Structure 1
Amino acid sequence: MQRFDGRVVIVTGAGSGIGEATARRFVAEGARVVLTDSVADKIDAVVASLPEERATAVVTDSSDYGQVAVMVQETVQRYGRLDVLVNNAGTITQGTVQDTSVEDWHRVIETDLSGVFYGTKAALEHLLESKGCIVNVSSVSGLAADWRMSAYNAAKGGVSNFTRAVALDHGKDGVRVNAVAPGFIWTVLTSDGEPHRLSDEFAGRIALGRGGLPEEVAAAITFLASDDARFITGVVLPVDGGTMASNGQPAQA
């Protein structure tokens, strides 16, 4: 399919995992994609494996509004337009409130939540012009809470409701805003060199009985960004193998 032929897309946090898979999917469907990450080597390696005329790397710290604004402006100057923004860059910290340092709290909130605001603010004038769309990457952790992840839960919960709010504000302007909420997805961070095998306890929480793949989240993101989803806005779509279908009680024998 070439659903994005002629369109220009920004994907933040595109150096690995969901961001990389999403950038690859957009390129495969005809888009010209700007990949951002705070680590140059990561996005350079991804871009080097893609068609030269379809992918560009721009080193950007998504927690720095100045850098984000410059990246968006460079994108529009290079390609003449912007059609899709995927706010994917994120980080995580674990621990109770007592365990979480103020520095870690700010790092997670600035990257995971403020970064979504920064990208949206910098891109919106161009998306209003193109009648484009935004897809944010939230999490099932933004729909319900986890043990020992209060900072991450706060940030992703903010992303989910920010998505709905911006969808309300700009729907009549022709800009759609949605989010995906991945569950357990196999990435470099989650696999840590181990085979793709979940513990029985973890697998038992997922209706499909397995972890997801970055490409499966990318498929949902590109759907929401496409004209196939032209009457969908303000949605936070779980891509979680059925995790959120449960009320939390254990499976019955």
Structure 2
Amino acid sequence: MADLGRLDVLVNNAGAPSLGTVETVTPEEWRGALAINLDALFHTSRASIRHLRDTRGSVINVGSMAALHADYGMVAYSTAKGAVANLTRAMAMDHAPEVRVNAVHPGFTLDTGFTAGLTPDSVVAFLTSAEGHWINGKILRANGGMV
């Protein structure tokens, strides 16, 4: 805000994997996974929402395919990313029509030869553009058709 004077788009793209089951994840690992993968999005959104309301802006929460179906041995990560989906829906209802809130759930996020073209960049750009102005509260898979 100090540098540009306005905020039009917030892309909440925080994430870190956390391995383990409900039996093996320590309470510290559990809280750490929630802090990075969920709490960071909440706090950034909370600090930004009034500025986005002024510009009729947009929030994109970047989740994971793990939000839509749990991954083996990733209980904390899958839980946190699942909560990102519901945070998105709640924010979309609470702040419409002034602020649009959507989520993109990518599969692969590393751009290697195998995963080239499967990154969610174009989906985020579309959702924040004039063409995506009527989309709100949606959870979009951006995984190149891979499950």
Q: Same fold (TM over 0.5)?
A: yes
- The answer to whether the 8 A contact 1:184-1:212 is kept is no
**Corresponding position: 1:149 with 2:74:** yes
Look up the match of 1:127.
52
**1:19-51 deviations in whole A, cap 9, x for unaligned?**
xxxxxxxxxxxxxxxxxxxxxxxxxxxxxxxxx
Distance 2:14 2:4 in 1: 22
Q: Where do 1:1-253 residues align within 5 Å?
A: 76-172=1-97, 174-187=98-111, 196-197=113-114, 211-213=115-117, 216-244=119-147
Shift, 1:88, TM fit: 0.1
SS in structure 2 opposite 1:79?
coil
Task: State TM-score, norm by structure 1.
Answer: 0.55
CA separation in 2, counterparts of 1:184 and 1:99?
25
| Residues 109 and 151 in structure 1, CA contact (< 8 A), matched pair in contact too | yes
- CA-atom RMSD in angstroms: 1.5
1:219 alignment partner AA = S
**TM-score normalized with structure 2 length:** 0.93
Query: Which secondary structure state, in structure 2, belongs to the residue aligned with residue 135 of structure 1?
Result: strand
Question: Distance between the aligned counterparts of 2:48 and 2:131, measured in 1?
Answer: 22
Task: Tell me the number of residue pairs that the alignment of Structure 1 and Structure 2 aligns.
Answer: 147
Query: Per-residue CA shift, 1:97-148, capped at 9, x if unaligned?
Result: 1221211111110011001101110000100111101001011100111111
- Which AA in structure 2 matches 1:124? I
Percent identity of the aligned residues? 40
Deviating runs (4+, > 4 A) in structure 1?
none
Unaligned stretches of 5+ residues in structure 1: 1-75, 198-210, 245-253
